[in-house]
Each structure stands twice: as C-alpha cells, then as structure tokens.
Amino acid sequence: MLKQSLNQKLQQKLSPQQIQLMKMIQLPTQAFEQKIAQEIEENPALESGKLKDEFQDEFENSEFDDPGNKEIETDINIDEYLSDDETPSYKLNSNNYSSDDDDNKVPYSAGISFNQFLLNQLRTFNLSDHEIQIAEFLVGNIDGNGYIRRSVDDIVDDLAFTENIYTSAEEVEKILKVVQQLDPPGVGARDLKECLLIQLKQAKETPQRKLAIEILKDSFDAFVKKHYQKIIQKFDISKEELKGAIKEIEKLNPKPGSSYNSNLTNIEHIVPDFTIRINEGILDLSLNARNAPELHISRDYNDMLKGYADSKDKSKGQKDAIMFIKQKLDAAKWFIDAIKQRQQTLLLTMDAIMNYQKEYFLTGDERKLKPMVLKDIADKINMDISTVSRVANSKYVDTPYGTKLLKEFFSESMKNDKGEDISTREIKKILKTVIENEDKRNPLTDEKLSAILKEKGYLIARRTVAKYREQLDVPVARLRKQLF
C-alpha cells in the first residue's frame, strides 16, 4: 500500500569555514605553523609581517566595495568562494616572532639505512652469486627490530615466484646462519628465544653464559614466566648460579635492530602551546607567540580593486579578474579572523583548565589534581564538549613543574572513605608508588594492592586495581618477581 506523508526535520550542518576552524583549533603549534605556511602559498592576497598603520586603518574600514560597476556584487558571500574543493592557503614567515624563538634544528648525518648496513657486511663473506642473492633476500626481510618474521618455507616460495631463484629449505637455513653472524648481534633471528641465543653464543663463553644458553634452550617458557624454582630443580643449580645466568640474559638486547635505527632518528622537540608562570602567588597564562602570527591583506591586491573601480573601460576579462581578486581578499580576511578566533578559544579553554586545577598549578602536587572531565570545562566556557576536546588534543603547557600534555589534567572521579571526590590520577600515582616500594622477591598481588589502598582510604576493588595497573603498564605480580 502506497502512502504519502510529510516529515519535518531540523538539521544542523557545519559550513566549510566552520569545519576548517575546528581543524585549526585542533592543531598544535608546530602543525599550525605548517598549516599557515602551506596555505599562504596558494593565496597571494594575504601576506605576513607588520602592516603600516595608515593602510591597516584603510583596510579595516573597507568592505572591498566597487561603486564603479553595479553589475558586480559588493557583498561577497565567503561560502561562494570557499569549498572543500578549493581551500585557501597562506604562508607565515619567520619574522612573525622573535628570532630567539626560532626552532633551529641541529644538523645530523643521514647515514645509511639499516638494511644497507647489513648488505655492506655481506661482502666480507665468501659466498657464490647464488648464495649472495638468497642472503640479500633474507636481509630484505629483516624488520626494524632486527627480526625475520617469516617461515623458511615461505621464503623459499617467494624466492621462486618473485625472484626466479630456486632453492631448498636446507640451503636457506644455511645462508640464514651466515646472516645471523652480522652486526648487531642477534640480527636475523625469527623469535626472541633465537635472538637471545645468538647473542650468547657470539659472546665469550663463561659458566654463567653457558648456563644461560641451557636455560633458554630447554626452559624458555619457565624463564619468561619467572618460574625460578622449577628451573633450579630441573638444572640442579643454586639460587646464586641462577642469578648469575639471569644477569647475563638481562645484558642482551631483545631488539638488536633498534640500536642501529635510533642513531638515525631525528629528535623531536615539543613546542608548548601555552605557558603558565607564578607571579607573587598568582597564576599567569600566556599563549605561545607562534600561535599569534602577524598576517595582513596584500596592499597590491587592494589597489587592484581601486584601479578597476577608477577604470572607465571594464571588459569581461577584467570583471572575471576582479571577481577572482575579491574571492582571494575575502578568503584572506576570513583566515585572519579565524586565527583570532582560534587564539581566543585556546586561551579561554586553557584559562578555565588552569583555574579548575589551580591548587595543582600553584603547588605541583599531583595529589591536588581534581577530577575533571571535558564537560566540566565546556560548561564553564559555554562551549561544546567537542571544542574542548580539540583544544586538549596534542597540546602542551609549559609549567613550573615541566612541560605537560593537556590531556593529563583530565581524569574521572571516585569516592574515598570520607565520601569525597578524588581523581583517578591520584589513585594511580599512589598505586605506582606502592608497587615501586614493594619487595620484588615477594611482589604484591592485585588483591593485596587493593587491601593497601583501602587502608589508605581508597575503596578500590581488585578488578579496578588490575585495570589501573595495566594502564600504568605494570605487569602482574608473578612477572615482577626478582631473585635479588
């Protein structure tokens, strides 16, 4: 049966400009600088640097009107010029902030890649052309940590189908032993057990290393699970002998490839978006100068409009050109206003967070952190929760106690034995302290940790303790056990 009906719906859609503004608010300082640098290249109507006062006054009082031609609209709708297909872009030069703030990077040597480093070593071995091809293929399958995560059978198949090299599993195993002789020690292993054994065998033999090899070969699972008593009984050794073997294993590198890759990694510096200082007991908040660039409208483009208005002959080509100029001028004006709105939103949100966590920022005591969720700040500044979330995303604040990630100040609340709301961050801090001070020969179970927290006035269930422990990246009691 066919039926006709009318439905009334109320929908809210964000304009392209609003979407761009939300994205700009989410960007941290360095990404924001890159955004401006990328944007300004596509819009010559916007320039960086200080603008002369007389032109600034002239620009602010101008609406880009064109009294000389009634056919061209004087009120330009930005939506007609900005779309998802054409996003205006602008550039920010280094003279927009003090030269002292320049983010100068220390030059470092690019070096060679990890795989190339391994390939260079293969030349020192006496291998046939056929064996070299297999060895190079094996090296190409080594990941950044130094492991080959594939079975020998898969490698044999790939050599045949992709490289047209026919070999056997036995030959690949033989060449793999050669690859495993390369530096750094342990490279080319297929799992952790093999990686550790390779390193121990390449080192000078001692009684402790010999025992360590036997333990890893025959009781690897028991060692990983720290079932030390079983190992002592199986190998008929003393506790001191086991300690010596464990010390040798702890010296080994479980990720041999990372030791090489780390030398080629450029150090990333965190640029704080905000700065909080204490002046005579009063908190002082400031926004990083790089978030407040000096951008202005191009005088040349504004003069083009005036020249067109004064012109008597207005061809169609000139009209098209002037519409393009107006588009770029309006886009540039919108972008400048969007930057100002971004600055206000960032400062307003951070100021609310600072005042909400005032006791912490004055003392630096993490126990003074109050439970705080996004809604608490959103209600204070009368903004949407999503806006607060964007401000808190990937932003850092420079405090007297170090540079902190803004997200760290947000936490859920729980009740203590007095019925007071406390931050879960405070509980995690105490839990971490208790675990750090425990007897590692007899570590505390989650149940015992729960009982200790209850004694301190925090009514936390064992399951909740386990959750917080995992969030702190702390293993279970059995894996924290040590013999010494």
Helix ranges (DSSP H) in 128-252:
129-140, 152-162, 169-179, 192-202, 207-218, 220-224, 228-235, 239-250
Q: What's the pLDDT score for residue 414? A: 67
pLDDT of the residue at 63: 46
**pLDDT over threshold 90, residue 354:** yes
Instruction: Tell me which CATH code domain 413-480 carries.
Output: 1.10.10.60
DSSP state of 183: S
**For 56-76, what is each residue's pLDDT tens digit?**
454 445 444 443 433 334 333
8 Å CB contact between 260 and 184: yes
pLDDT classification of 96: cutoffs 50, 70, 90: very low
- Min mean pLDDT across 199-208, 276-285, 439-448 is at 439-448
Question: Residue 254 and residue 216: Cα distance in Å, rounded?
Answer: 13
Confidence band for 145, pLDDT divided at 50, 70 and 90: confident
Tens digit of each residue's pLDDT (9 = 90 or more) over 17-52: 677 777 778 787 878 878 788 777 777 777 776 555
How far apart are the C-alpha atoms of 295 and 90, rounded to whole Å?
A: 9
Q: Which residues pair with 276 in a beta bridge?
A: 285
Give the least confident one: 16-20, 222-226, 285-289, 406-410.
16-20
Q: Please identify which residue in the block is written with the tokens 């070999």.
A: 167
What are the φ and ψ backbone dihedral angles of 408, each rounded to 5 degrees? -65, -20
How high is the pLDDT of residue 12? Answer: 54
pLDDT tier, 108 (very low <50, low <70, confident <90, very high otherwise): very low
Question: What average pLDDT does the segment 408-416 reach?
Answer: 72
Averaged pLDDT for residues 436-454? 85
- Binned at pLDDT 50, 70 and 90, residue 352 comes out as very high
Read off the pTM: 0.51
- Reported as a pLDDT band with limits 50, 70 and 90, residue 91 is very low
Identity of residue 302:
N
SS (H, E, C) 68-87: CCCCCCCCCCHHHHCECCEC
Indicate if the pLDDT at residue 277 is higher than 90.
yes
